Every structure is written in C-alpha cells, then in structure tokens.
Structure 1
Amino acid sequence: MSYSFEYIDIILLAMIAGFIFLRLRGILGKRSGYDGKQSTQFDKIVKEAIVKKTIRKDEVFDEKAQKEFLNGAKIAYETIITDFSDNDNKLTTSKPLLNKDIYNQFNEALKERNERGHYAEITFIGINSAVIKEHKKLDKILNVTVDFIAEVITCIKDKDKKIISGDPEKIKKIYDTWVFSRDTTSANPNWQLVNTLT
C-alpha cells in the first residue's frame, strides 16, 4: 500500500516537472544556441532605434520647433540690444549668444564709441514682430534668418551730455535682419548670432 503511494507521488512530481518544463520552454524558447531569426529581429529593433535617434539629432525644423525658436530669438535680440547699450568697454551678458566674429565686431564698435567719448542711452520698448525669413541646413549646421521690427528710445551723447544723435523723447522703429546658427548634432541647445544683414 505504501509502495502505491510512493508511485503516485513520483508520478505527480513528474507531471509537475513536465508542466514547469513546458512553461519554461514556451517562455524562453526552444533553442539555447544562436538563432538566426532572433538575431534578425534584434537587428531590426536596433536599426529602428538608430533611425529614431538620428531624427532627434536632425531636429526637424517644423512649425512647433520654429515657434520655440522664435521665442528664444526674441529674448536673445532684446538681450543683445540692451547689452550693447550699456556703457561698458565690452559685451558681457550677451557673450554666449554671439559667435566669435560678431562678438569681436560689437566690441570693436563699443571701443570706438568710448574712444570718441560718446555713450548710448537706449530704452528697449519691445518687439513688434519677429518673422523667420528663411532657414537652411548645411551639413549639420542649421542657419535661420529672422526679420525683426522693434521699438526703442535711443540717443548718443558726448562727455558733456550733448545729444549727438537720436532723441531721448521719441520712440523709434528699428528694422534688423539677423542670422542665427546652431550645430544640430551638439548637445548644447543654444543658438548663436552669426551675422547681421542690416
């Protein structure tokens, strides 16, 4: 009698083991070595991931991206104009927003103004409009040209506070066309002013 119970226990254990084996086989697969089909599927997943990553790096300059860019361009425009109006010997706040050539050009203009004994009084009123004129991608560099219309109160005075140009009481419209640039493969999201066309 005890032997029959032992046989039943062995049969039950064998059935449980067989069930577990079948479950594992279904989950893990039949083969333990190299599987060409699995590799092909894996390659496909990897390729899709690379394509998606490339698309992110290429930064499709769609309507949403253009809107975000213009918001930043307006802030950059005001920052640069305001910094240029400060009566320091060189630009400070706007330096990260300018490429090397533009930074040097602006500083040279500041230096010449200071050497003449002139200083600027500029009050930035606001930007009336900022419109993307064109955008071009050359290899990995994306250049965006923007037409700005802004309002300022500006005048230049000499060391005796005599007005050389401008009017401290009058709002003036200014029209600028600036070119911003960015390396789309760079981790740095910042744009830089690379050219002024007016």
Structure 2
Amino acid sequence: MSMEILILAAVAVFVLARLFSVMGKQKGAPPPEFRRQANGERPQPVLVHSDSNDDDEDDFEEASGLEKIARVDPSFNQREFLAGAKSAYEMIVKAFEAGDRATLRSLLTDDVYADYEAAIEARETSGEAAPDFERIRDAQIEGGELNGSVAEVSVLFSAELATEERIMSTREIWTFERDTKSRDPNWRLADVSAA
C-alpha cells in the first residue's frame, strides 16, 4: 500500500510540475501586438525612419563651441591648447616689450598686429619703456566658437607686469583663432579685451 502511495505521489508531482511549467502560455494564439482590434482590423505597423545625418546635424548644432571645434579638428585638446596659449601669451608680451615685430607678425592676425605695431611706434616715439613680463597667475578657457571653418577660443589671463615703480596686475581675455581647414596647426591672437 505504501508503495502505491509513493507511485501516486510521484505521478502527482510530475503532473503538477508539467502544469506549472506551461501555465500562462497561450499556445496557438498570436502575439498580442498582432491580435485583431475590436473592429476586426489589424493594427498597421508603425515604421520609425531615422535619418542619421539629421540627427548628427542636430547634435552638432546643440554642442558647445568647444565641442564643435573638437569634432571638426580631432587634434584639438583643451589642456594642450591652454598650455600653448600660456606660452603664446608670454612670447607675445615679451616680443611687445622688445619691439620684436617679426615674432609678433607670426603670432598675431593682421588686425591685431597693426594695433601692436602702432603701440610700439608710439612708445618708441615717446621714449617710454614697456612694462616687463613677470608671470601668469592664472589662465582658463572662457569659451569657444566655430565660425565656418574658423575656430575661436577665448582665454582669460591674469598676469603680473612690472615697471620700475611697481608691479601691476592685469586681467584680459585673449581670443585665438585658427582655420581648421588649414595645414598650419598654429593659432594666432585675434582679439584682446579687458576682463
């Protein structure tokens, strides 16, 4: 008798396990998304068309100026740019002090060079000495823009210049530019404004 009970229990467990494993499955029924609606019509599939070029253009327009520059010029790196901008700042200020027009010509755009040359001529005429470069206290990128193929990056410089009488603090925003389509990797100073 106990053997029959064990066999019946094993069969019951087997049947229950099979029922449990198939419970909730709808054999032969179409998937829910293809079932007929109440009016008997099948729903039409919705095709989503995504034009990747449009998405890329939208992403590009929403990107910051610095991101746009990095996209058109993969070699652009903010840390390296800032290090180069600091070196350029020191070279330009020292070249201005020395009246070194050749160095300035290579580092400035034509408009900015004309302003610097006029200032050097006025100083030479008056016999006034230019302040000496002491140090850059701080430099940080303020922002960037891409105008056509021309990239522009603005840097806020805090520096110290010295005369015979005193040390002066200066804060200026220098904007450097470069044509990203040019093979010339050098940036030139395109604008200087007081911060």
**TM class by shorter-chain length?**
0.5 to 0.7
The answer for the alignment partner of 1:73 in structure 2 is 85
Q: TM-score, normalised by structure 2?
A: 0.59
Q: CA 1:104–1:123 in structure 2 vs 1: closer, same or farther (change >3 Å)? A: same
Query: How far apart in 1 are the matches of 2:75 and 2:144?
Result: 9
Q: Distance in 1 between matches of 2:70 and 2:138?
A: 29
- Matched position secondary structure for 2:80: helix
The equivalent position to 1:184 in structure 2, one of 150, 175, 180, is 180
For residue 111 of structure 1, the aligned residue among 121, 143, 146 is 121
**Equivalents in 2 of 1:153, 1:56: separation in Å?**
37
Alignment of 1:61-140 (within 5 A): 65-86=77-98, 88=99, 91-120=101-130, 122-140=131-149
Counting aligned pairs with the same residue, the percent is: 35
Q: Which runs of 5+ in 2 are unaligned?
A: 1-68
Equivalent-residue separation in structure 1 for 2:112 and 2:145 (angstroms): 20
Q: How much is the aligned-residue C-alpha RMSD, in angstroms?
A: 2.2
Larger Rg over CA atoms: 2
CA distance in 2 between partners of 1:103 and 1:115 (Å): 18
CA distance in 2, matches of 1:116, 1:125: 23
Cα distance in 2 between the residues matched to 1:116 and 1:151: 23
Alpha-carbon distance in 1 for matches of 2:186, 2:142: 20
Aligned 8 A contact 1:125 1:152 in 2: yes
Instruction: Tell me how far apart the structure 1 counterparts of residues 141 and 185 of structure 2 sit (CA, whole Å).
Output: 19
Judging by fraction of residues, say which structure has more strand.
1
What are the Cα deviations for residues 90-146 of structure 1, in whole angstroms up to 9, with x where unaligned?
6222321101111111001111122223232x3322111111111011111100011
TM-superposed deviation, 1:194: 0.6
How does the TM-score come out when normalised to structure 1?
Answer: 0.58
1:1-198 aligned within 5 A: 58-60=72-74, 65-86=77-98, 88=99, 91-120=101-130, 122-154=131-163, 168-198=164-194
Structure 2 SS opposite 1:115:
helix
**1:76 and 1:97 in contact (8 A); partners too:** yes
CA distance in 1 between partners of 2:185 and 2:75 (Å): 14
Once residues 70 and 152 of structure 2 are traced to their aligned partners in structure 1, the CA distance between those partners, rounded to angstroms, is 17
SS class of match (1:197): strand
Between the two proteins, the alignment pairs up a number of residues equal to 126
Q: Which amino acid aligns with 1:94?
A: L
The offset of 1:56, in angstroms, is 8.6
Q: CA offset at residue 57 of structure 1?
A: 8.0
Matched letter for residue 172 of structure 2: D
Secondary structure of 2:101's aligned partner:
coil
Q: After the TM superposition, which parts of structure 1 deviate over 6 Å for at least 4 consecutive aligned residues?
A: none
